[in-house]
Every structure is written in structure tokens, then in C-alpha cells.
Amino acid sequence: MPARTLFLAYLRASQINDDSVCVDLHSRNAMATGESAERILAVSAWRETINFTDAERAALALSESMTRLHDQIDPVPDEVYKEAALHYDEAALATLITGIATANLYNQLNVSTRQIVDVLSCN
């Protein structure tokens, strides 16, 4: 499982959950793996850009579905899971799912305890 893809999936979950600490963290981690600023900035609009591969799109769709469990009758539709399974083997898919779940856990902790990133002190 490419680390860049994992950080993009974590970033998307953190954007949805309004977790500024993790948005900052996952953006920086993605940049450390060589990810471009343009692609990081486009994550929130990944459906409207051609900047992501089919495999990355599958990971981002899975991240959104897992993060929005409460918003949908069928939270992780079969087609979303099957598309991810087309691009990632069983171990990679398990890593992706576990990572997204962990990102969501940290998002809930940070948002619940009102953690806010201070980008001025991060530089």
C-alpha cells in the first residue's frame, strides 16, 4: 500500500471530520513522501479533477464511505468496496481500512477535545 495513498485517504477523512490537526498532519506527511501541493489541495474535490489514479480514487471513495457511515443507508456500498479490492490486494486493503478507521478515531478525539492546529508555530 503506497504511503502517499494512505496519507491522501487519511487527509480526506480528516477534512470531512473538520479535524484541523489531522488535516495539517496528513498534508505534511503526504508532502514528506513526495506528494505535490497541487494534489494535496485537490483532495477535497478529487471527483472533479483528473489528478488522481483509479487506485487513488478507489481509496478516497472508501475513505469517504467509511467516514460518512451515519450519512448513508448503505454506508460502504458493495461497488465502493469492490473497486478498492480491484486495486489493492487483501493485505493492502486491510491496511487501508484499518488506517482509515484509525484516522477517524483520532479525528473524533481531536474534534471532541477541541484540538486546533496552530500553523504559525509549526513552521
Containing structural domain, residue 49: 3-114
Query: Is 98 among the domain residues?
Result: yes
The CATH number that applies at residue 108 is 1.20.1290.10
- pLDDT tens digits along 52-108: 999 999 999 999 999 998 888 888 989 999 999 999 999 999 999 999 999 999 999
Query: Is 107 among the domain residues?
Result: yes
Number of domains in the chain: 1
Give pTM, 2 decimals: 0.92
Contact (CB, 8 A) for 8 and 56:
yes
Instruction: Give exposure, 44-75, as e/b (b: 16+ Cβ within 10 Å).
Output: eebeeeeebeebbbbbbbbbbbbbeeeeeeee
Cα torsion through 50, 51, 54, 60, rounded to 10: -110
- pLDDT tens digits along 2-12: 999 999 999 99
Query: Is 83 among the domain residues?
Result: yes
